[in-house]
Amino acid sequence: MLSTAGQIIFSLVICATFLAFMIPVIHRIRIILKGKKDQRFDHIIKRAWDAFIKVFFQRCTLRRDRVWTGFIHLFIFYGALTFDTMSVNHVLEGYLPGFYLFGGGNFGLFFSFIVDLFAVLVLVAVVFMAFRRYIIRPEAYKTTLLDSGIIYMLLTIVTLSYLYFETFSIAHHPGTERLSFIGAPLAQWVNQAGLSASAVSLHFNVSWWLHVLIVFGFIAYVPYSKYFHMFAGSFNVLVRNEKPLGALDSMDIEHSEVFGVEKASDYTWKDLLDTFACMECGRCQDVCPAFETEKPLSPKMIIFNLKRHLLDNGKKYIAEKRDDIDPLIKETVTEGEIWTCTTCGACMYVCPVEIEHIPKIVGLRQGQVLMESKFPSELNQFFKSMETNSNPWGIGFSERADWAEGLDVKQIKDHPDTEFLLWVGCAGSFDERGKKITQALVKILNNAGVDFAILGTEEKCCGDSSKRLGNEYLFQMQAAEVINQFEQYNVKKIITLCPHGFNTFQNDYPRLLDKVPEIKKEAAEHFKAIQIFHHVPMILELIKENRLPLINKTDQPLTYHDSCYLGRHNKIIKQPREVLNLISQNKVKELENNKEHSFCCGAGGGLMWTEESLGSRINHKRTQEVINSKVSTAATSCPFCLTMIQDALEDKEVTDISAKDIAQLVAECL
Instruction: Tell me the CATH number for domain 549-668.
Output: 3.40.50
pLDDT band at 463 (very low <50, low <70, confident <90, very high): very high
The DSSP annotation for 256-314 comes to -SS-S-SSGGGSBHHHHHHHHH-----HHHHH-HHHHTT-S--HHHHHHHHHHHHHHTH
| Cβ-contact 168, 204 below 8 angstroms | yes
Whether the CB-CB separation of 611 and 637 falls below 8 Å is answered with: no
3-state secondary structure of 573: coil
- Res 66 pLDDT > 90: no
The whole-angstrom separation of Cα 180 and Cα 499 is 58
Is a pLDDT exceeding 80 seen at residue 1? no
pLDDT given for residue 551 in this prediction: 87
> In whole angstroms, what is the distance from residue 481 CA to residue 410 CA?
22
Using a cut of 0.75, tell me whether the model's pTM lies above it: yes
Query: What confidence score (pLDDT) does residue 2 get?
Result: 87
632-651: per-residue pLDDT in tens? Answer: 999 999 999 999 999 999 99
What type of residue is 73? H
Kindly indicate the confidence band of residue 62, based on its pLDDT and cuts at 50, 70 and 90: confident
Identify any residues that bridge with 453 across adjacent strands, giving them in sequence order. 421
pLDDT band at 101 (very low <50, low <70, confident <90, very high): confident
Helix (H) or strand (E) holding 189: helix 183-192
Higher pLDDT: 60 or 210? It is: 210
Residue 446: which H helix or E strand, with range? helix 432-447
Distance, C-alpha 277 to centroid of its chain: 13
**SS3 state of residue 495:** strand
Q: What's the maximum distance between 2 C-alpha atoms anywhere in the chain?
A: 103
Cβ–Cβ < 8 Å for 497, 424:
yes
Instruction: Decide: 600 and 346 in contact? Cβ < 8 Å.
Output: yes
pLDDT the model gives residue 106: 81
How far is C-alpha 238 from the chain's CA centre?
15
Q: How many Å apart are CA 147 and CA 225, to the nearest integer?
A: 6
155: left (phi over 0), alpha (psi -120 to 50) or beta: alpha
The candidate with the shortest Cα–Cα distance to 248, out of 84, 81, 466, is 466
Q: How far apart are CA 42 and CA 242, in angstroms?
A: 10
Comparing 93 with 260, the larger pLDDT belongs to 260
Mean pLDDT of 408-412: 94
pLDDT of residue 380: 96
Is the pLDDT at 436 greater than 80, yes or no?
A: yes
The mean pLDDT of 197-217, rounded to a whole number, is 95
C-alpha closest to that of 492 among 442, 457, 526: 526
| Ordered DSSP codes for 299-327 | HHHHHHHHHHHHHHTHHHHHTT-GGGS--
Q: What is the pLDDT of residues 132-168, one digit of tens each?
A: 999 999 999 999 999 999 999 999 999 999 999 999 9
Q: How far apart are CA 275 and CA 269, in angstroms?
A: 10
**What residues contact residue 321 under an 8 Å CB cut-off, 6+ apart?**
none
Strands 633-636 and 420-423: unpaired
Question: Residue 105: its pLDDT value, please?
Answer: 79
Mean pLDDT of 280-297: 96
Q: pLDDT at residue 325 above 90?
A: yes
Instruction: Return the CATH fold of 253-372.
Output: Fumarate Reductase Iron-sulfur Protein; Chain B, domain 2 (1.10.1060)
> If DSSP states are collapsed to H, E and C, what string results for 101-150?
CCCCCHHHHHHHHHHHHHHHHHHHHHHHHHHHHHHHCCHHHCCCHHHHHH
- Mean pLDDT for 186-215 is 94
Q: What angle do CA 486, 487, 491 make, to 5 degrees?
A: 55
Residue boundaries of the structural domains of the chain: 39-238, 253-372, 390-539, 549-668
The answer to whether 532 and 496 are in contact (CB under 8 A) is: yes
Average pLDDT of the chain is 95
Task: Give, as one character, the DSSP assignment of residue 571.
Answer: -
pLDDT value of position 100: 84
DSSP-based three-state secondary structure for 58: coil
End-to-end CA distance of the chain: 85
| 575-611 pLDDT, tens digit each | 999 999 999 988 899 999 999 999 999 999 999 999 9
**Radius of gyration in angstroms for the set of CA atoms belonging to the chain, rounded to a whole number:** 30
Q: Are the CB atoms for 532 and 505 separated by under 8 Å?
A: yes
Taking residues 517-541, what's their average pLDDT?
97
Share of the chain above pLDDT 70, in %: 100
